[in-house]
Amino acid sequence: MTVFVVQEPDASKNILSAMDFGDIEVVLPARENMMYSPAPTVARIKHALRNFTDEDYLLLIGDPAAIGVAVHIALNNNRQKAKLLKWDKREYRYYPVEVEI
Confidence (pTM): 0.93
Angstrom CA distances, 46 to 78, 88, 89, 98, stand at 13, 28, 30, 20
**75-93 pLDDT, tens digit each:** 999 999 999 999 998 988 9
Give 38-55 pLDDT, tens digit per residue: 999 999 999 999 999 999
Sequence-distant (6+) residues with CB within 8 A of 36 are none
Which pLDDT does position 57 carry in this prediction? Answer: 98
- Helix (H, G, I), strand (E, B), or coil: what is residue 78? coil
pLDDT of residue 31: 86
